[in-house]
Amino acid sequence: QRPSNERKRAGTGVVEPCPLYPTDDLIGRLAGLKECVAPEDLPRLHPYVEKGGRVRPTNCTAYERVAIIIPFRNRYVHLYILLNNIIPMMQRQKVDARFFVIEQAPPTIFNRAALFNVGFIEALKLDSFDCFIFHDVDLIPLNDRNLYRCDEHPMHFAVAMDKYEYKLPYKKYVGGVVGFTKEQYLRINGNSNLYFGWGGEDDDLFERIDNKEYEIARPYLDVGKYDMVRHKQDKGNEDNCDRRRLLRTARQRQDTEGLNTIKYKRKSVELRSHMTWITVQLDMAE
């Protein structure tokens, strides 16, 4: 069931929903801007973003509201490069989007998947959203026909990354950038919270999606194309040695561990000029 996209223009009584495929505004292939951007330059580069990080179409109403959730720790350079790329893309796509940076406070080992759950819960405390796009901080989209929206099935957007020679590395891969409607995310009970460190959490997510009999919707390789802004493996995000063992019980754990069991301490919520910044403390599960 689609959210209502009806809005009356003041005084006219005219309802103007945005086109589902705003093809006239799209460019197609993009070069991908990799130069560093200082945060204080964002207001000059993207003046139309509302405080807290909302971008929305000015002459029509988008048919859904999208929360873009970016799990974060200490990757400021990547974050501002990403925003510099996706803000104008959201505008051309006529997406009503709000950017959420979910920062994990030290010292616990990084937990990307748990931060997705936090982002989902915290975004809904602040506003209503229909669609949640979980976005790695280091992935730059290279084609604006890759529409940031949700559909009948969970969406996997990042199907062709430079580090995998612009191909899907394996069939069950759902890493990088994924999108769920609120209903879909609730139905799969979100992500697992047990994956501290690098690897496996996205494969666990695949098992959850598949176990609830969803398909995975994907764009063509030429459309779902991304470059990764290069970096070394982060300190505090070492390989997770438990990941193979955890993955074996992904389906058994699905309904009893995930969105419904996440524990975290919210340390702060800040409405910054181009994003809502939420800092949380995660505890290592015993």
Query: What residues line the site for ligand BGN (CB under 6 A)?
Result: 169, 175, 199-200, 202-203, 243-244, 247
Instruction: Give the shortest CB-122-to-ligand BGN separation in angstroms.
Output: 24
48: which residues sit within 8 A by CB, 6+ positions away?
A: 55, 58, 91
> Residue 106 or 169: which CB sits closer to ligand BGN?
169
Instruction: Give the shortest CB-259-to-ligand BGN separation in angstroms.
Output: 19
> Residue 230 or 244: which CB sits closer to ligand BGN?
244
> Residue 88 or 141: which CB sits closer to ligand BGN?
141
> Taking CB positions, which residue lies at the least distance from ligand BGN?
199
> Residue 39 or 236: which CB sits closer to ligand BGN?
236
Instruction: Give the shortest CB-285-to-ligand BGN separation in angstroms.
Output: 18
| Crossing angle of helices 201-211 and 112-126, rounded to 10° | 60
Taking alpha carbons only, the member of 276, 35, 10 closest to residue 140 is: 35
Q: Are 131 and 149 spatial neighbours (Cβ–Cβ below 8 Å)?
A: yes
Residue 105 DSSP code: P
Classify residue 213 as exposed, middle or buried by CB count within 10 Å of its CB (0-12, 13-18, 19+). Answer: exposed
> Residue 71 or 175: which CB sits closer to ligand BGN?
175
Instruction: Give the shortest CB-228-to-ligand BGN separation in angstroms.
Output: 11
Instruction: Give the shortest CB-4-to-ligand BGN separation in angstroms.
Output: 37
What angle is formed at CA 205 by the lines to CA 120 and CA 65, rounded to 5 degrees? Answer: 30
Q: Are 200 and 240 spatial neighbours (Cβ–Cβ below 8 Å)?
A: yes
Residue type, 132: F
